[in-house]
């Protein structure tokens, strides 16, 4: 019999990890009190990443082994959506090459938006015939020399919800909403304004969070001692342990907050920690997730036997492996537009995105959908009415052929130090897709001291191609990254 719950999950954190010690060393002349936070690393997106591109990666991970044409709806939760009036989840839908009939929506407004969206999707699942992909991503801008600069991290998570062979079933949920002003960011502000940390901790995290835990356990009819994993998506040291003790949950059940390796990922953090918990879970485990933000959200899940049958995925463990440790604080400030660099004349290019062209070619540009000749099997990008097969110039025989998930190898490349790039040198070259098809692509995720060679395996990643600074429009396309 079909159950309602989580069908699959995935996660993404950028490879680049900025040393918190580097942040502290650059700012200790002014903010020596940051020393206590200068431990570990925080995940940072490269210049060509944002909440949309990270959500795409998490969505690809969550959809491994699933038929994308069967997805019925999609949501993206974030407090750092690139567009105030353009459907951000609609761009993700195009990049994931989901059907046009998919219903898409954005969720924002609170750090608990990610978990709230997941709870709402789970509550709606019994009435829906098709799965819902719940995504959350955040890339928060932080003021230089602030505590948040060290505490935050960039990441995304995805959870596929629906009916069927679930890996985790829903046992209950509980919510408290109260306008507790621990921090805020108005529409006119670049950075969060935070209130007195000790008061926020005592009245907010421990007060409201503790009340949510105690009342939620009673409302769901669950004993605290039965909880195998408690997820508290709050970065402040000691809060999760204090909440567990207050609720009567075993200390060993408290989940790692991922603070030392990734940082606190805003609206995505509850889902990110949930993915980490599911990766290590055993059938029968009860997982309790708490998210804070103008009240608190609580979700209780029980892991099923199906947890062992999911295809391999990147997840949190894969994201943590192979990270690049970065100590270049100045570069990070420049990438976050917190440092005004002289970019020179080569950067003075009008990057206007023609809306009509994007509309006509959106599947190729946003979804990396090429063409395959049904007569000869020849693959090409971009798709056209004429086959590129030199022995058979067939007309009108092209079918859509998605290339984003197909492995590729480098045929030729160059590292260009003359062209303008926010991450010089700019790597680009010809790649050859497994099974046919070639394209010239810009390369991504090649950092200091790293290089590539002809024949290296590559994977496609959805990134910002360029930014139309005059009109405030990021332009998205696919790049090739080393398949580490």
CA distance 418 to 247: 60
Q: How far apart are CA 27 and CA 23, in angstroms?
A: 6
**Three-state secondary-structure class, residue 283:** coil
pLDDT at 238: 94
In 10 A of CB 372, how many CB atoms? 22
- Residue 210's alpha-carbon distances to 95, 116, 406, in angstroms, are 40, 18, 47
Could you tell me the mean pLDDT of each successive run of 10 residues in the chain, 484 residues long?
90 97 96 95 97 98 96 98 97 97 97 97 94 98 95 98 96 96 93 94 96 97 97 94 96 96 97 98 98 97 96 95 93 93 82 90 96 94 91 90 97 94 94 96 95 97 94 95 93
Q: How far apart are CA 34 and CA 31, in angstroms?
A: 6
Q: Which of 66, 80, 54, 14 is nearest to 158 (CA)?
A: 54
- Positive or negative, the CA dihedral 310, 267, 110, 48 is negative
pLDDT in the model for residue 349: 80
User: What is the largest distance, in Å, between two alpha-carbon atoms of the chain?
Assistant: 75
Amino acid 1: pLDDT: 57
Which CA distances in Å does 413 have to 217, 320, 400, 424?
Answer: 58, 28, 27, 15
Close Cβ partners of 6 (under 8 Å, ≥ 6 residues apart) = 122, 159, 160, 161, 166, 167, 168, 278, 301
Q: Is residue 257 classed exposed, middle or buried when 0-12, 13-18 and 19+ CB atoms within 10 A define those classes?
A: buried
How many CB atoms within 10 Å of residue 251? Answer: 10
Instruction: Supply the pTM of this predicted model.
Output: 0.96
Strand-pair partners of 73: 103, 132
Distances (CA, A) of 81 to 89, 109, 163, 322, 333: 9, 11, 29, 27, 20
Domains in the chain: ranges and CATH:
3-335 (3.40.47.10), 345-368+403-482 (2.40.50)
| Cis previous bond, 366, omega within 30 | no
Which residues have a Cβ under 8 Å from the Cβ of 75 and sit 6 or more positions away? 89, 104, 105, 106, 107, 117, 121, 132, 133, 134, 135
């Amino acid at each position: 019999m079909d159950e309602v719950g989580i069908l699959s999950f995935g996660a993404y954190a950028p490879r680049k990890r900025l040393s918190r010690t580097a942040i502290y060393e650059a700012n200790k002349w002014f903010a020596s009190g940051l020393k206590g936070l200068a431990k570990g690393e925080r995940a940072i997106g490269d210049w060509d990443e944002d909440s949309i591109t990270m959500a795409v990666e998490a969505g690809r991970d969550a959809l491994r082994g699933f038929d994308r044409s069967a997805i019925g709806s999609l949501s993206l939760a974030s407090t750092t959506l690139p567009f105030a009036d353009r459907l951000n989840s609609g761009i993700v839908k195009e990049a994931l090459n989901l059907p046009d009939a998919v219903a898409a929506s954005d969720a924002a407004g609170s750090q608990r938006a990610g978990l709230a969206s997941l709870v709402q999707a789970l509550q709606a699942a019994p009435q829906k015939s098709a799965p819902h992909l719940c995504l959350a991503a955040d890339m928060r801008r932080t003021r230089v020399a602030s505590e948040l600069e060290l505490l935050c991290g960039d990441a995304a998570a995805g959870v596929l919800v629906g009916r069927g062979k679930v890996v985790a079933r829903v046992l209950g949920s509980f919510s408290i909403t109260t306008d507790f002003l621990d921090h805020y960011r108005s529409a006119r502000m670049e950075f969060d304004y935070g209130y007195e940390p000790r008061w926020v901790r005592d009245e907010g995290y421990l007060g409201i969070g503790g009340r949510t835990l105690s009342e939620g356990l009673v409302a769901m009819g669950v004993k605290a001692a039965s909880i195998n994993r408690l997820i508290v998506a709050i970065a402040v040291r000691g809060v999760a342990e204090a909440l567990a003790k207050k609720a009567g949950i075993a200390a060993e059940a408290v989940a790692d907050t991922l603070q030392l390796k990734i940082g606190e990922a805003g609206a995505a953090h509850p889902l990110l920690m949930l993915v980490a918990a599911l990766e290590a879970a055993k059938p029968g485990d009860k997982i309790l997730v708490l998210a804070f933000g103008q009240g608190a959200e609580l979700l209780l899940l029980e892991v099923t036997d199906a947890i062992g049958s999911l295809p391999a995925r990147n997840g949190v463990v894969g994201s943590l492996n192979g990270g690049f440790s970065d100590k270049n604080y100045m570069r990070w400030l420049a990438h976050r537009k917190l440092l005004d660099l002289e970019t020179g004349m080569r950067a003075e290019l009008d990057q206007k995105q023609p809306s009509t062209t994007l509309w006509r070619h959106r599947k190729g540009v946003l979804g990396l959908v090429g063409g395959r000749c049904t007569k000869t099997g020849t693959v090409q990008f971009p798709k056209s009415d004429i086959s590129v097969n030199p022995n058979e110039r067939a007309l009108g025989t092209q079918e859509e052929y998605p290339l984003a998930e197909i492995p590729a190898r480098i045929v030729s490349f160059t590292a260009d130090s003359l062209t303008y790039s926010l991450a010089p040198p700019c790597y680009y070259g010809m790649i050859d897709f497994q099974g046919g098809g070639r394209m010239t692509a810009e390369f991504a995720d090649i950092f200091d001291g790293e290089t590539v060679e002809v024949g290296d395996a590559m994977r496609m990643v959805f990134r910002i191609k360029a930014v139309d600074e005059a009109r405030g429009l990021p332009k998205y396309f696919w790049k090739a990254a080393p398949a580490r």
